[in-house]
Amino acid sequence: MGAIRADAARSRARILEVARRHDATRLRLNDVAREAGLGVGTVYRHFPTVRSLVEALSIDSLRRLGAAAHDAAAEPDPLVALRRFVDDALALQLADPGLQAVLVELERADPAVHTECSAARAQVNAGYAAVLARAQAAGAVRPNLTATQLQRLVCGVEHAVRLGTPDDRPVLLDILIAGIRA
C-alpha cells in the first residue's frame, strides 16, 4: 500500500479531531462529517463504520495500556504489579469511553479493523495475561481467574465509578483486588 496523500491525511486527522470531542458511545459519522466540514463519503472512506472510528480513537489508549503492562513486568512484587496495572487500565478506560468496547467486544470485531488497532489490542491482551499469570504463579491471585474475566471485572469497576463519583475509584479497586486474591 502506498503513502497516503496529503489531503487524505489532513481529512483523516480532521475527522479524528472532531470525533474526539464527542462521546465515543454516541458517535454518528454523519454528524462528524458535518462538523469537520467534509463530505459524508470522505468520512466513510476513512472509517466505514462507527466502530472503526472508535478503534482509531482508542489506539493511543491501547498503546498506553500495553506500556502499563510492560511497566508492571518490571515491578518485583507480582501483586503490586497486578494492582498497578489494573489501576492503570481503569484510569485509561475512564479517560477513554470507547476503550472498553475495543477491548471486550473482540468477538464482534469490525471487518474494517485496521492492523494497527489489532496489534495494539493483542499487546494489551498479552499484557493482561502475563501480569495475571505472574501473580497466579506467586500464589497471590486465584488460580481459576482468566485474563478475560479480569478485563471484564475492570470494566465493571469502570461502570460502577461512572455511576458514582471518581472518589469511589480507590475503594472499588481495593474491593476488586481483595476479591481476586488467592
Q: In the prediction, which pLDDT does 146 show?
A: 96
**Calpha distance 55→103 (Å, rounded):** 9
Give tens-digit pLDDT for 58-106. Answer: 888 888 999 999 999 899 999 999 999 999 999 999 998 888 878 776 5
Within the chain, all domains assigned CATH 1.10.357.10 are found at 51-180
Give tens-digit pLDDT for 12-42. Answer: 899 999 998 888 778 899 999 999 999 999 9
CATH for 1-47 is: 1.10.10
145 HSE (CA, 13 A, CB side) = 28
Q: Would the pTM of this model clear 0.75, i.e. be above it?
A: yes
DSSP run (H or E) holding 93: helix 78-95
Gap between the terminal Cα atoms of the chain = 50
From the options 3.30.460.80, 3.40.640.10, 1.10.357.10, 1.10.3720.10, give the CATH code of 51-180: 1.10.357.10
| Residue 47, SS3 per DSSP | coil
Instruction: Tell whether the model's pLDDT for residue 1 goes beyond 50.
Output: no
